[in-house]
């Protein structure tokens, strides 16, 4: 399974592998996992510039992102924005509750 991203610009990491990685860290440090979960939630942008800022700030979600390299996809996003008034994507979040 590939992690959903915003309009196809995601890094394409395998979700199960990431989840296992994030639960291994606390276990290796002697923590016991009390609760874990993950969620795929919608995220909306009402401006293409806001998306560019998001992609640059959260660089682990979009490794190597640049406007020049993604220009064609950003133009498609702008067209979608002009048609529908928004750019919609999916974010993937984790919850890990651990106790030592």
- Whole-angstrom distance, CA of residue 38 vs CA of residue 24: 15
In residues, how long is the chain? 100
Task: For the chain, give every domain's residue range.
Answer: 15-99
pLDDT at 83: 96
SS (H, E, C) the chain: CECCCCCCCCCCCEHHHHHHHHHHHHHHCCCEEEEEEEEEEEEEECCHHHHHHHHHHCCCCCCCCCCCCCHHHHHHHHHHHHHHCCEEEEEEEEEEEEEC
The pTM of this model reads: 0.63
pLDDT at 21: 66
Residues of the chain with pLDDT under 50: 1-14
């Amino acid at each position: 399974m590939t992690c959903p991203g915003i309009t196809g610009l995601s890094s394409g990491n395998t979700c199960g592998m990431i989840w296992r990685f994030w639960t291994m860290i606390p276990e290796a440090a002697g923590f016991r996992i009390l609760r874990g979960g993950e969620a795929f939630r919608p995220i909306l942008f009402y401006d293409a510039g806001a998306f560019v800022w998001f992609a640059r700030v959260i660089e682990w979600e979009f490794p190597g992102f640049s406007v020049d390299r993604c220009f064609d996809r950003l133009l498609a996003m702008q067209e979608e924005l002009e048609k529908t008034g928004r750019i919609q994507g999916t974010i993937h979040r984790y919850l890990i509750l651990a106790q030592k």
